Amino acid sequence: MLAEAQAVVDKSIASIRSNVVTDGKIDEKKFNRFQQQCFEIAVASAELQAARAMLAYDTAHSDGVEKPHPLVRDIAIRFCADTCKDILGRFAAAGSALGVARRDVAALLSREDINTWLDTTTEGSGGYGLAEYCCEFNFMRLPSILADEKEMVRETFMRFSDEVVAPLAENIHRQDTDIPEEIISKAAALGCFGTSIPERFGGLQPDDAPDSLGMIVVTEELSRGSLGAAGSLITRPEIAARALLAGGTEQQQQHWLPQLASGEKLCAISITEPDTGSDVAAVSLRATPTEGGWLLNGAKTWCTFAGRSEILVVLARTNPDAAIGYRGLSLFMVEKPAFPGHEFHHRQEAGGCLSGKAIATLGYRGMHSFQLFFDDYFVPTANLVGGEAGEGKGFYYTMAGFAGGRLQTAARATGVMQAAFEQAVRYAWDRKVFGQPIANFQLTERKLARMLATITAARQFSYAVAEKMDQAVANLQDSDTGQMEASLVKLFACRAAEWVCREAMQIHGGMGYAEESPVSRYFVDARVLSIFEGAEEVLAIRVIARELLLREAKE
């Protein structure tokens, strides 16, 4: 059935391609007239990839254990069936707007074999007794099929989240406080800041092989405890480390990476500007050469954790000619003192200033996202990533960092979903209405079953992408290998997180809307996931859809 759904999506891709691609190149004016269609093919492609990851997971689970868990096959097949129904339903409704004929999709859905399969896999109780089973056996997730070493890492950080992060998470969110030193110091002691940094620099990643899988396993468990207070702690050093490993000089790597790995220095990533959003190539903060270094002038926004951090990774325009776009950008390691709270002002001895003010947000609290203002802020020559050879290459180094960031964001989304599901299961079993737990109602059962399926799909999809990216590096393949999949898994997981957290809140009823309930925090935290590390629309249209449309030309 996935093949049939893929064929419909492929037909839509071919139709759009015929309208916007000429001689292997995209006509931008025509492309912009097909944004809605491009968005749809990107979302459908992400969903189909998630479904394939679920089928692969079912196969691996069935082959790898003596007694496969009975829920795995049922939930994997159900997820695939639901995915196909959703995609075909959307494409049937859109019809010619997506370059497919409604009658063709209708004929597909009316085929007896497909109809029978969809009916038998998506109808019925759909999770009968799931909440009772989960609560009785403390079974809140399907088997991960991770190797023993990775499973030990997962369990270590799960305990850390339960024992250290979770007890503090609600107060951090409600009071919008700084992340307590208790969380930061204990996370550093566990080595979480070094998950993407090679061992030779003091990190946890083997020198001879990347370990994206370990990074996302840790990220998911930290995010399960709190997205704002723990799950995003390692995002910034991960992006900084990848950028340094991609373009930093040996001396820069030896200087910065050990400090990042140990947590001695915390960092923030400063890319976005008030007028650029996700359009990284349009960055305009100026870096002007001066004796011994550069002077930064301009504004940045949405720089998360900027106050507490001692290092800001800043993308700036070193070539004033805006016409050359991204080729005029360079990356800097900018040092500053750490400041608590929601506002800071730092003046250098030579007179340069850097000030910041936190942006009030409805969720994702604890780290604080800042607006920054640079006024002749001096940065030494040695802090230009890549040295003299790195001038003009900041965009590429930034993209190298963001590739891992998208994958990690998918893991953050999975962690938030997992936390929401656990709360929903417990509440559904404890809450009695009309003489029985609401978990016994068919609608609740179906909600919980689909939530579990969606979480598992996001988790297994992210595992598969991590392994592909690591294998590409190990085999010296093109550095872009796995980047498309990282974008797809972020798109899928972040959209899914909003739905899962909404359903968890809905199961709680009025209590879900109360701030005293953790699901209200999960709901507002999940909302930011589709915005940062590449806004959903930009990721779908400018990254995924473009790749899909050009794939035939590349091949």
Complete DSSP assignment for 355-398: EEEEEP-SSS-SS-EEEEEEEEEEEEGGGBTTGGGGTT-HHHHH
Tell how far CA 344 is from the center of its chain: 29
- Is pLDDT of 230 > 90? yes
pLDDT-derived band of residue 125, with 50, 70 and 90 as boundaries?
Answer: very low
Amino acid letter at 525? D
pLDDT-derived band of residue 139, with 50, 70 and 90 as boundaries?
Answer: confident
149: Cβ contacts below 8 Å, ≥ 6 apart: none
Is 123 assigned a catalytic role? no
Percent of all residues in the chain with a pLDDT value above 90, rounded to a whole number:
60
Longest Cα–Cα distance of the chain, Å, equals: 78
Distance between CA atoms of residues 155 and 351, nearest Å: 49
Contact 189, 199 (CB under 8 A): no
Distance between CA atoms of residues 320 and 392, nearest Å: 11
Across 106-110, 146-150, 413-417, the highest mean pLDDT is recorded for: 413-417
264: Cβ contacts below 8 Å, ≥ 6 apart: 258
What mean pLDDT do residues 178-188 have? 94
- Can you tell me which residue has the tokens 């990107």? 42
Tell how far CA 514 is from the center of its chain: 27
Q: What is the per-residue pLDDT for 357?
A: 97
> pTM for the full model?
0.91
- Each residue's pLDDT tens digit, 424-433: 999 998 888 8
Contact 55, 457 (CB under 8 A): no
Amino acid letter at 117? W
Catalytic residue among 388, 533, 537, 552: 533
Distance between CA atoms of residues 344 and 355, nearest Å: 6
pLDDT-derived band of residue 479, with 50, 70 and 90 as boundaries?
Answer: low
Q: What is the per-residue pLDDT for 354?
A: 98
Q: What is the per-residue pLDDT for 482?
A: 67
- Is pLDDT of 543 > 60? yes
Which among 348, 350, 323, 327 is positioned nearest to 337, based on CA atoms?
348
What mean pLDDT do residues 96-125 have? 76
Q: What is the per-residue pLDDT for 474?
A: 65
Domains of the chain plus CATH, in order, are: 2-123 (1.20.140), 148-245+397-446+455-534 (1.20.140.10), 264-393 (2.40.110.10)
pLDDT-derived band of residue 292, with 50, 70 and 90 as boundaries?
Answer: very high
Average pLDDT, the chain: 89
Q: How far apart are the first and last CA of the chain?
A: 26
- Is pLDDT of 555 > 60? no
Q: What is the per-residue pLDDT for 122?
A: 61
Q: What is the per-residue pLDDT for 481?
A: 57
Contact 420, 224 (CB under 8 A): no
Lowest mean pLDDT among 196-205, 270-279, 339-348, 462-471: 270-279
Token reading at 472: 């590409």
Complete DSSP assignment for 51-97: HHHHHHHHHHHHHHSSS--HHHHHHHHHHHHHHHHHHHHHHHHHGGG
Lowest mean pLDDT among 41-45, 369-373, 548-552: 548-552
